[in-house]
Structure formats: C-alpha cells, structure tokens
Structure 1
C-alpha cells in the first residue's frame, strides 16, 4: 500500500513539474512577444515623430511663399480677398421633397390568425 502511495506521489510531482515547466515556457514566450510589441510601438512612435517634424519643415510659411512665387505663372494663384466670398442668399439649397401620405390601410388580422393556426397544426 505504501509503494502505491509513493508511486502516486511521485507521479503527481512529475505531473506538477511538467505543468510548471510548460507554464513557465508559455510565460516566457508571452513576455518575449510583449517586448517585441513594445519595440515595434517605440519604432513606430519614433517614425511618426520624424514624419511630423518633416511635415512641419515642409509647411513653413516662408518655404510655401517661395514656392508660390516660383510657380505663380503656372498655378495662377491670387491672394484671397473679400470679393471671393458670396452672400448667404446666393447659396443654392436643394428643393424640399414633397412627402406623400398613405391613405389606404391593409387589414392583416385575418392573415395573422391563419398563420398562427397553421403553426399550431404543424407542431406535434
């Protein structure tokens, strides 16, 4: 009887050791994946900050003014003045859609009773 108890205890210890090893391996794998994701997020954040800096550099007012001066004849750009804006009365709004009223109603109570009667007959 004792040998059976020792055998069961030894098997339980081996099973728990295998389980602990598996859980440890899965935990290490999850931690490695987390570190890889954190590195990727950091790289993407750095790339985003570089792109924002490039966008700010390219959208400098003095640079844009120089580009406008260089390409003035080709683009035919003119400064915006109050003459470029219209009055609110000049805005063309769409015509309202006429709503139609439904005068004819359909009586459905008879059909509903027939449907409920046929479903009761179909059930065993």
Structure 2
C-alpha cells in the first residue's frame, strides 16, 4: 500500500512539474505577444502624430488662402468677411408640429363608469 502511495505522489509531482513547464512557456509566449502589441501601438501612435503634424501643416491659413487664389477661376472661393456671419437670433429654426386637439376625449368619466 505504501508503494502505491509513493507511486501516486511521484506521478502527482511529475504531473504538476509538466503543468508548470507548460504554463511557463504559455506565459512567456503571451508576454512576447504583449510586447509585440505594445510596439505596434507605439508605432501607430508615432504614425498618428506624424499625420496630425502633416494635417496641421497642410491646413495653414496662408497656404489655403494661396490655393484659393490660384484656383479662383475653377472654384470661385472668396475670403470670409465679418459681415458674412450672422447672429443666433437671425437663424430661422423650424416650428414644432402642432398637435390636433379638435376632438378631445374625456378620460375621467370613462374610468368612473365601471
């Protein structure tokens, strides 16, 4: 009986060692994957910063003004003037729909009759 207990204990130790070995390699693989994802995120953020800088460079007001002047014949773009802006009270907002109440229904006497 004792030898069976020693055999089962040895198998349990070998099994737990095998499990720990597999978990260690799985953990290392996941850590490598996380490191790769972090590098990809860093590269994407770097590309995004470059794209934002390019967008800001291309949207400079003086550059856009020069482009509008060069393409005036095709586009007909004019510079904005202060008198082209309006006030909020000048905006014509749509009127809300009116509810038709030409045939009212009496709900107080309908519930009391029962």
TM-score for the superposition, normalised by structure 2: 0.76
TM-score (norm: length of structure 1): 0.71
Pair 1:89–1:30, CA change in 2 (3 A): closer
- Equivalent residue number for residue 77 of structure 1: 77
Q: In 2, distance between residues paired with 1:12 and 1:34? A: 32
Aligned to 1:34: 34
Note the residue ranges of structure 1 that are not aligned, 5 or more in a row: 111-124
List 4+ stretches of structure 1 deviating above 6 A: none
Partner residue in 2 for 1:103: 105
Structure number with higher relative contact order (C-alpha < 8 Å, ≥ 6 residues apart): 2
Unaligned residue ranges in structure 2 (runs of 5+): none
* Matched pairs, number: 108
Q: Name the Cα RMSD after superposition.
A: 2.5
Q: How does 1:1-124 map to 2 (within 5 A)?
A: 1-86=1-86, 90-100=90-100, 103-105=105-107
